[in-house]
Amino acid sequence: MNLRKYGWLFGTTLLVGGIGGILAGFIVGRADLFDGGVGNFLIATFMNLLFGLSISVLTQMGFFAYMMLNYLAQSVFKSRGLWRNIQILLILFTFFDFVYLRYSLGVQGDSLWPYFVEPSVLLLVSVIAAYAKVRLTNPTAWVPTVFFLFVGTTIEWIPALRENAYSAIFMAVPLLFCNIWQVLHLQRLVKADPAS
């Protein structure tokens, strides 16, 4: 990947994050957007855009942190199958923690089942995106894509998960937009240019 390709990824991910922030504002903050005049609508939309842009920078840091982790793990674990199995265990561990830790911090006597919603939806989105990635590349992309999209997004999502459902959904939209965008475009960026 050269500087031009990185610049393209950075710029387009910013754009995708901004769009995700505006869309998240329409999904969860519709009442606030339309609860005033045109000025209120424009300022609220601009703030949602800035939020999405800042989330996109967070996702880019997470993406490059995962790429470094993946590179180091493949160097340490010579067997590709071992690193794949470790990623699968970490996906399962993250799913368990996602449910259990939020349940243990919730109101005593709550049902456990509502705490399965967010991790199950995130895992489903991760699997669908991994299917698209496999169609674009090869079958070995399944586990790394699900790992990055599920575990990486969960780690980046922690600040909003500690708040309320409004914050969680508001942050989830640009997070997923950016992470899916990056993972689906990576193979295009690491290919060698025919001219070089």
Residue 1, pLDDT score: 66
Q: Determine, yes or no, domain membership for 101.
A: yes
Q: What is the DSSP letter of 193?
A: P
Q: What is the pLDDT of residues 113-167, one digit of tens each?
A: 888 989 999 999 999 999 999 999 888 899 999 999 999 999 999 888 777 777 8
Which residue positions in the chain have pLDDT lower than 70?
1, 107-109, 191-196
What's the total number of domains in the chain? Answer: 1
Q: What is the DSSP letter of 192?
A: P
Q: Determine, yes or no, domain membership for 17.
A: no
> Per DSSP, which regions of the chain are E strands?
none
- Which structural domain range is residue 126 located in? 57-190
Residue 196, pLDDT score: 40
Q: Determine, yes or no, domain membership for 16.
A: no
